[in-house]
């Protein structure tokens, strides 16, 4: 078989990792030849010498080059040059391999149609959870299953931050700076910490598993910005870890999808996940529950996923973009946001005055929300003390109503933090 001729757009961390694989002595080096590369900065130091590879200042020129079979898009960004280059490549009948979750969650359906019209493929294993082959697992290994639930930690930066905060008691802002210095968080870490990055990944997995098209805007999103050391300390005391959980589940043909900080029982494998790793649990019929753990970012793991897609194209494996188990689940509805029935963790910040706990218990009781446990640490500042409670199972909307009612009292400061408790 003839090697694939590839053009690589974007030579950052992942592009550098891919060059090492393509130009090294491993399996990929037998299956691809690099026609050209394009990136923002030609002279930036790279792990391999690229001086003998054709350089293109304009990514779209390379995207439609006659001597290219596959465009590997590693530039990132939902719109702009990456999107433009992918459109150009598809129209020029080039296959596309991309790690761009933001672009696929925003434009996946349109790109799928364009790929179909031009008889080419789009592959995106590297877009979800870096080196973990979760797209392949859903699309191929579990293709004939009914997927019940997907639950995972899909953003390494936020997991690193929560893990460090729990270990050291340091505040969010300080640990975020460490994550940036270590090269884990992006220079602009907004999407890592506000749940957007994990939401993009969940949208792609839901497309494969449930509804056939990414619906990012319908995901309930909450990031980790409001989690404080007191939450991590209280969770540990109660026997839980705090994790940014991306989850999706199908109940009565209604799909609920959310990314939000949650308390996870220590017995759950997700609670044990330290540092920048990713983990995903998939519950399906008839296979049962499968657990995937590995590096969700970085040169080697993400390039490994890009390379796997190239190998599939080398062997001419053909599949529709978002086809997987979802083929059996058309016409599902999206569940309304905040429709969870669960136990919850709530942290109030209050002025330390007599009767505050009575107001909380009275208000929750009137809304039929039963308290399971309540904690107050000795106050360090009498004008702002944390009261933490956990509830029995209740409807989140009812809990929110009760908490809104409490905000009318002067002792209650700011917006309480609510996190679901997962078993």
CB of 73 to ligand HSE, least distance (A): 14
- Distance in Å, CB of 123 to ligand HSE, minimum: 17
Place of tokens 């978002």: 322
* Range in contact with ligand HSE (rule: CB under 6 A) among 139-147, 150-158, 211-219, 250-258: 150-158
In the numeric block, which tokens belong to residue 244?
């940014």
In which order are the strands placed within the sheet that holds 122-123? Answer: 32-38, 4-9, 70-73, 95-98, 122-123
Smallest distance from the beta carbon of 76 to ligand HSE, in angstroms? 9
Residue range at the interface with ligand HSE (CB under 6 A); choices 155-163, 259-267, 349-357, 404-412 = 155-163
Residue 155 touching ligand HSE (CB under 6 A): yes
First vs last C-alpha separation in the chain: 50
Binding mask 267-306 for ligand HSE (x = CB under 6 A): -----------------------------xx---------
User: Of 297 and 421, which has the nearer Cβ to ligand HSE?
Assistant: 297
Which of 100, 121, 145, 157 binds ligand HSE (CB under 6 A)? It is 157
Q: How far is the CB of 85 from ligand HSE (least distance, A)?
A: 19
DSSP-derived pairing of the beta strands 146-153 and 95-98: unpaired
Restricted to residues 215-274, the positions that interact with ligand HSE (CB under 6 A) are none
CB count in 10 Å sphere of residue 373: 12
Answer yes or no: are the C-beta atoms of 304 and 24 closer than 8 Å: no
- Complex with ligand HSE: residue 189 or 420, whichever CB lies closer: 189
* Cα angle, residue 26 at apex, residues 23 and 32 outer, rounded to 5°: 55
* Separation CA 2–CA 69 (nearest Å): 11
Is there binding between residue 196 and ligand HSE (CB under 6 A)? no
Part of the chain binding ligand HSE (CB under 6 A), chosen from 134-142, 153-161, 255-263, 413-421: 153-161
Q: Cis omega (within 30 of 0) on the bond before 286?
A: yes
Shortest distance, position 398 Cβ to ligand HSE, whole Å: 34
Query: Contact at 8 Å (CB) between 350 and 376?
Result: no
Nearer to ligand HSE, 15 or 296 (CB): 296
- Longest Cα–Cα distance of the chain, Å, equals 79
> Which 376-415 residues touch ligand HSE, going by CB under 6 A?
none
**Active site includes 337?**
no
Helix/strand/coil percent split, the chain, to 5: 40, 25, 35
Residue 99: CB minimum distance to ligand HSE, A: 8
| Closest by CA position to 239, among listed 360, 387, 386, 375 | 375
Residue among 261, 282, 264, 286 nearest 273 (CA): 264
| Both tokens assigned to 309 | 């897609």
Q: Are 219 and 205 in contact (CB under 8 A)?
A: no
| Token code pair at residue 179 | 């994550």
Judged by CB, which is closer to ligand HSE: 192, or 309?
Answer: 192
| Residue among 297 and 399 whose Cβ is closer to ligand HSE | 297
Active-site annotation holder among 101, 136, 201, 243: 201
**Which residue among 20, 192, 220, 233 contacts ligand HSE (CB under 6 A)?**
192
Find, among 246, 344, 347, 229, the residue nearest to 296 by Cα.
246
- Write down the least CB distance from residue 400 to ligand HSE, Å: 29
Does position 163 interact with ligand HSE (CB under 6 A)? The reply is no
Position among 16, 36, 156, 212 found at the interface with ligand HSE (CB under 6 A): 156
> If binding is defined by CB under 6 A, does position 108 make contact with ligand HSE?
no
Is residue 197 within the footprint of ligand HSE (CB under 6 A)? yes
Instruction: Choose between 203 and 418: whose C-beta lies nearer to ligand HSE.
Output: 203
Q: Which is nearer to ligand HSE, 258 or 349 (CB)?
A: 258
C-alpha distances in angstroms, 131 versus 144, 277, 377?
Answer: 23, 10, 42
- Pick the stretch among 152-160, 303-311, 339-347, 379-387 that binds ligand HSE (CB under 6 A): 152-160
The tokens of 347 are what?
A: 């942290």
Residue 308 contacts by C-beta under 8 Å, 6 or more apart in sequence? 125, 133, 136
As a whole number of angstroms, the distance between CA 284 and CA 257 comes to 16
Minimum gap (Å) between residue 3 Cβ and ligand HSE: 28
Residue with tokens 């209740």: 394
| Interface contacts to ligand HSE, rule CB under 6 A | 155-157, 192, 197, 296-297
* Catalytic annotation, residues: 201
């Amino acid at each position: 078989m003839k090697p694939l001729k590839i053009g690589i757009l974007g030579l950052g961390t992942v592009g550098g990792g891919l060059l090492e694989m393509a130009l090294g002595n491993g399996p990929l080096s037998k299956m691809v030849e690099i026609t050209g590369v394009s990136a923002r900065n030609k002279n930036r130091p790279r792990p391999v010498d690229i001086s003998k590879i054709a350089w293109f200042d304009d990514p779209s020129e390379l995207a439609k080059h006659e001597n290219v079979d596959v465009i590997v898009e590693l530039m990132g960004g939902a719109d702009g040059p990456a999107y433009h280059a992918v459109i150009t490549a598809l129209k020029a009948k080039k296959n596309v391999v991309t790690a761009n979750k933001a672009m696929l969650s925003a434009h996946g359906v349109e790109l799928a149609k364009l790929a179909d019209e031009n008889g080419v493929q789009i592959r995106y294993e590297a877009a979800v959870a870096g080196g973990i082959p979760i797209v392949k697992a859903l699309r191929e290994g579990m293709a004939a299953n009914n997927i019940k639930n997907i639950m995972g930690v899909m953003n390494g930066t936020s997991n690193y931050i929560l893990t460090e905060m729990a270990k050291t008691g340091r505040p969010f802002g300080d640990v975020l700076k460490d994550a940036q210095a270590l090269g884990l968080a992006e220079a602009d870490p907004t999407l890592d910490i506000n749940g957007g990055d994990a939401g993009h990944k969940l949208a792609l997995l839901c497309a494969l598993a449930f509804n056939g098209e990414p619906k990012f805007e319908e995901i309930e999103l909450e990031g980790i910005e409001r989690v404080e050391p007191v939450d991590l300390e209280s969770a540990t005391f109660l026997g839980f870890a705090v994790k940014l959980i991306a989850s999706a589940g199908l109940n009565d043909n209604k799909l609920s999808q959310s990314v939000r900080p949650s308390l996870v029982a220590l017995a759950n494998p997700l609670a044990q996940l330290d540092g920048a790793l990713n983990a995903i649990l998939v519950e399906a019929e008839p296979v049962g529950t499968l657990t995937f753990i590995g590096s969700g970012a970085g040169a080697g793991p993400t390039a490994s996923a890009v390379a796997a897609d190239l190998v599939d194209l080398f062997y001419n494996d053909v599949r529709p973009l978002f086809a997987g188990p979802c083929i059996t689940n058309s016409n599902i509805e999206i569940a309304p946001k905040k429709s969870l029935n669960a136990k919850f963790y709530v942290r109030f910040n209050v002025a330390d005055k007599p009767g505050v706990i009575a107001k909380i218990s009275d208000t929750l009781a009137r809304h039929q929300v039963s308290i399971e446990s309540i904690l107050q640490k000795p106050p360090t500042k009498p004008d702002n003390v944390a009261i933490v409670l956990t509830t029995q199972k209740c409807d989140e909307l009812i809990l929110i109503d009760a908490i809104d009612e409490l905000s009318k009292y002067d002792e209650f400061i700011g917006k309480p933090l609510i996190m679901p408790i997962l078993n």
